[in-house]
Chains A and B, each alone.
Chain A
Amino acid sequence: MKILVGVKRVLDYNVKARVKADKSGIELANVKMSMNPFDEIAVEEALRLVEAGHAEEVIAVSIGSSQSQETIRTALAMGADRGILIETDEQLQPLAIAKLFKHLVEKEQPGLVVLGKQAIDDDSNQTGQMLSALTGMAQATFASKVEFEGDSLKVTREVDTGLESIKVQMPAIVTTDLRLNEPRYAKLPNIMKAKKKPLEIIPVADTGVDVSSKLSVVEVNEPPNREAGIIVSSVAELVEKLRNDAKVI
């Protein structure tokens, strides 16, 4: 069985996003970019399923600019077998990304697709669900545990009231939540080896997929700033302020 994993190149989670002066988006020139943290968890889960004998091959897929090759190389260094980059310089919406993944699903016929539940740049949380809807593959989102049961998966999901478990027939799509696993670090020899692993680059136009979108970004603004508050010197002063000034208790 093959596993397809999505890896997105995003602004590193430790770097504060700054809005561009012309309000067209976020400043991404000369800042540290990394693999979306949820996608690291996805790669890790796929590798563990191979190590447990449930799958044979992990294919790391990215959709983005040429620089996304670095993100794929990171996945290869973690242990993925090969990579595919669908290259585009456009900022695609989740619907277009899901359509491109569907194109790859038809081509590669994976038994499982593992994606991060959301990317920390646009915070959409859509692609996995859309891919499921477009392909008819079952979806198990926000996964915190994945167990094989014959040709099905039992997936424990993080929901607002606690945990829920569902059973999905494979082929299926899993999106990862934070507690699914702790991703490994790539070791130096594996980083060297990853440079020799196959990485196929497909220009987006060659896929024949319609990636146009009717959703456009009008402008991007800084959020309103919170006024700096005061430091109180004691619990008694804090309680007094909350009771008499803020009147919230």
Chain B
Amino acid sequence: MSTLILVEHENGQIRPATLNVVTAATQLGGDIDLLVAGSGAGAVAEQAAQIAGVSKVLHADDAAYAHELAENLSALVVKHAQGYSHILFAATAAGKNVMPRVAALLDVSGISDIIEVKSDDTFVRPIYAGNALATVQSADSVKVIGIRTTSFDTASATGGSASVESVDAADADPKVSFVGQELSKSDRPELTSADIVVSGGRGMQNGENFSMLDEIAGKLNAAVGASRAAVDAGFVPNEYQVGQTGKVVAPDLYLAVGISGAIQHLAGMKDSKVIVAINKDEEAPIFQVADYGLVADLFDALPELSAALDG
């Protein structure tokens, strides 16, 4: 038994999500190989070789991998899939884009977003926005799986001493090309791996008021998130969205401000260790999952909270 993992990286750094996937692979047992695809990403391959528990790093260096184009990445994974019993991806926007392609090209079912490894062929995954947990069993010759990163610990980025082997690139797909990107600029921790998340909903009323959450997030070294309602209303960009179809977070502390708590939002944060809700509507469903609820007008509570954090 052996597992291949597609490494996610940007700006010469491995994304933390990959370390969670390594932990999932450790639970499967067997050898763990990593595949680094990039353009001039030799340093990433060297970092990958340091991750604890990794046997071998396959490194494909080609201009086709300068951006995360799903066609090119899936062709590369399939080219090197031979002999692996499991192929793992992080269930990130990038991983979700590639995983099903690899499964289809290998003519096997993809297994999305697993939260638990029961055995080498049986896994648990949330369905219906996390309102049910399905235990699924695969008899496919190779299991192609997306890993929900918040459900697995982070593997140690150091302590390993894997070999790095250069491998051939696959043919690039001429039908697709990268045009550009608008990345959010923030010096806050990344939303899915932050220890504390401060999220705002429709109750924030506008984008300017999110500066109150930024201020508190700054004092707690927290990331800022949002409900779908706040993103749809244009208060904050799409990458802030926490929920069933946005990001899933499971920080030590999740502070929900002006968020009513639709099931689609709860799906993205209910595995947080401690949940705090501030909402002026005492009937808001968010209070049913909150460890600490404060029924208050957020425009009174937030300045007070900010001041209290200085004390």
Contacts and interface: CB of A to CB of B under 8 A. Distances in A.
A94 B110 contact: yes
B97 A123 contact: no
Nearest to A175: B97
A94 B144 CA distance: 13
A220 B101 contact: no
B176 A169 contact: yes
Interface in B63-90: 67, 69-71, 74
Contact of A239 (B111, B287, B309): B309
Q: Which of A17, A213, A227, A242 has the most CB of B within 10 A?
A: A242
Nearest to B111: A215
Nearest to B180: A165
Given A94-B100, A125-B96, A130-B104, A163 B182 contact: yes
Contacts of B111: 215
A38 B292 CA distance: 34
Interface string B86-130: 000000111011111111110111111100000000100011111
27 contacts: A11-B128, A16-B131, A17-B127, A17-B128, A17-B132, A38-B245, A124-B110, A129-B100, A129-B104, A131-B104, A133-B100, A162-B183, A162-B184, A163-B238, A165-B179, A165-B180, A178-B238, A178-B245, A216-B137, A220-B134, A221-B132, A226-B288, A231-B287, A231-B294, A242-B276, A248-B196, A248-B273
Contacts of A39: none
A108 interface: no
B253 A125 contact: no
Contact of A232 (B10, B71, B135, B292): B292
User: By DSSP majority rule, is chain A's interface helix, strand, loop, or mixed?
Assistant: mixed
Nearest to A117: B245
A238 B110 CA distance: 44
B229 to A, nearest CB: 11
Given A144-B238, A178-B232, A230-B292, A220 B132 contact: yes
A45 to B, nearest CB: 16
Given A129-B100, A160-B93, A218-B122, A242 B133 contact: no
Contacts of A11: 128
Given A129-B104, A249-B220, 14 more contacts: A18-B131, A123-B244, A128-B100, A131-B104, A161-B181, A166-B177, A178-B231, A179-B238, A214-B138, A219-B135, A221-B133, A223-B126, A234-B294, A249-B309
Interface stretch (A81-89, A134-142, A184-192, A199-207): A134-142
Q: Top 3 nearest A-B pairs by Cβ distance?
A: A17-B128, A126-B100, A130-B104
Interface string B197-232: 000000000000000000000001000000010011
A158 B184 CA distance: 12
A235 interface: yes
A241 interface: yes
A20 B192 CA distance: 32
Contact of B253 (A158, A216, A236, A246): A246
Interface string B238-275: 11000011010000110000000001100000100111
Given A124-B112, A130-B100, A249 B253 contact: yes
A231 B295 contact: yes
Contact of A160 (B110, B220, B247, B276): B247
